[in-house]
C-alpha cells in the first residue's frame, strides 16, 4: 500500500498537464457545421442519457460532452425495454434543453439507442399503456 501511495504521489505533478476545455466553440476557426448527438442506455440498476456536440471547423472536428443525466431504476421492477424508453425520454428532454441554450444553431440532431425495442416502440403508432404512451408522445 505504501508503494502504491508513493507512486500516486510521484504522479501528482502530472495533473498540471491535464487540460479540460471549457469552450464548446473554437476561437481560431469558424464553425462550419454543428450537430447534437444524444446517447441513451439503461440497465436493471439505472438509466442514463448524454448529449454531445460535434463541431466541424475549417481544419478539424471537435466532439465534447455538454450534459448528461442518470437516474436509478424505480423500486418497482420494470422491464429493460421500459427502462430504455425512460432513458430515451430523458435524452429527448436533455437534447431540447441543450439546443435551446447553446449559441450555435445545430444543423442536425441525432438520437442513438442500442435498444431496437425502443426504436420500434417510438415508430409504431399503436396505443400502449399510459406510461409508455405518454413517454412516446413526449419523445
pLDDT, tens digit, 9 for 90 and up, residues 31-47:
678 889 999 999 999 99
pLDDT, tens digit, 9 for 90 and up, residues 12-32:
999 999 887 777 765 556 767
Band of pLDDT at residue 128, cut at 50, 70 and 90: low
pLDDT of residue 28: 54
Distance CA 82, CA 95 (A): 20
CA 35 to chain centre: 13
Distance CA 86, CA 139 (A): 10
Distance CA 24, CA 40 (A): 21
Within 13 Å, how many C-alpha atoms sit on residue 97's CB side?
13
Within 13 Å, how many C-alpha atoms sit on residue 56's CB side?
7
Q: Domains in the chain, start-ordered, CATH in brackets?
A: 2-138 (3.10.20.370)
Amino acid at each position: 500500500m505504501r508503494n502504491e501511495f508513493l507512486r500516486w504521489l510521484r504522479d501528482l505533478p502530472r495533473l498540471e498537464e491535464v487540460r479540460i476545455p471549457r469552450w464548446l466553440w473554437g476561437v481560431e476557426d469558424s464553425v462550419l457545421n454543428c450537430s447534437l448527438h444524444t446517447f441513451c442506455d439503461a440497465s436493471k440498476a439505472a438509466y442514463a442519457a448524454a448529449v454531445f456536440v460535434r463541431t466541424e471547423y475549417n481544419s478539424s472536428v471537435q466532439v465534447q460532452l455538454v450534459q448528461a443525466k442518470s437516474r436509478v431504476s424505480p423500486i418497482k421492477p420494470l422491464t429493460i425495454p421500459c427502462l430504455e424508453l425512460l432513458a430515451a425520454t430523458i435524452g429527448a428532454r436533455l437534447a431540447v434543453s441543450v439546443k435551446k441554450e447553446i449559441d450555435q444553431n445545430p444543423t442536425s440532431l441525432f438520437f442513438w439507442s442500442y435498444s431496437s425495442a425502443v426504436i420500434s416502440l417510438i415508430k409504431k403508432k399503436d396505443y400502449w399503456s399510459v406510461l409508455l404512451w405518454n413517454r412516446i408522445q413526449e419523445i
